[in-house]
Structure 1
Amino acid sequence: MPVVVTDNCRRCRFTECVAVCPVACFHVDDDMVFVDAAACIDCRACLSACPVLAIYDEDDLPDDKRHWIAINEDKAKTLPVIRFKIDPLPDAEIRRRDLGLA
């Protein structure tokens, strides 16, 4: 099963996941990243790379986050692929603290 990016990525857009992805399956907008499940090879390297625990293996996705499967699918179709790590959003560390992960 592929991985799914969820709402913890919002307002952070840390891209450590992109840096470890061997197939460039991530897409980016102004707020967060999304994964293209069709391009994901299930290596799961991104799971431990994400500093805000926003990425789940689809098999482990909590029920209240299952809607993120469709969101990732839709967004991946229209957004550009991101191949390299970029700077997180300016308030990413604040968001990380707010999530209790800093």
Structure 2
Amino acid sequence: MTYVVTENCIQCRHTHCVDICPTDAFHVGPNFIAINPQECVDCGLCVPECPEEAIFPDNALDAGNQHFLALNALLAQRWPVLLERLQPLPDHARWSGRSGRLALLEDVQERA
């Protein structure tokens, strides 16, 4: 099992989870963070730290979120490891609780 960051993180990118991760499994992109499934030790410490409730164990993903497992693995290979907390994105409050954000995911590392 691994933990997976899902759509609720897109456009918010809170990084409270980074402080608690014992294996530096988080990777940062322009408007999302991803968990490297090869580094995640399944401790679950990150779940309660996420103010957007965007992190789930892979075995608890519903059918509509299954694709985030592969997406996290892919993006973790492309993006740098996140070692310290960043400020959330400037307009994070506007996106909190909104669905339909996957189309807004930015894959290039420009502004971390």
Output the CA distance in 2 between the equivalents of 1:23 and 1:93: 29
Counterpart in the other structure of 2:62:
62
Q: Residues 25-76 of structure 1: CA distance to partner in whole angstroms, max 9, x if unpaired? A: 0000111100000100111011111000110011111111000011001101
Q: Structure 1: state its 5+ residue gaps.
A: none
Q: CA separation in 2, counterparts of 1:48 and 1:61? A: 16
Higher helix share: 1
Q: Distance in 1 between matches of 2:33 and 2:8?
A: 10
Matched, 1:77 2:80: no
Runs of 4+ displaced beyond 4 Å = none
RMSD over aligned CA atoms reads 1.1
TM-score by length of 2: 0.84
Q: If the length of structure 1 is used for normalisation, what is the TM-score?
A: 0.92
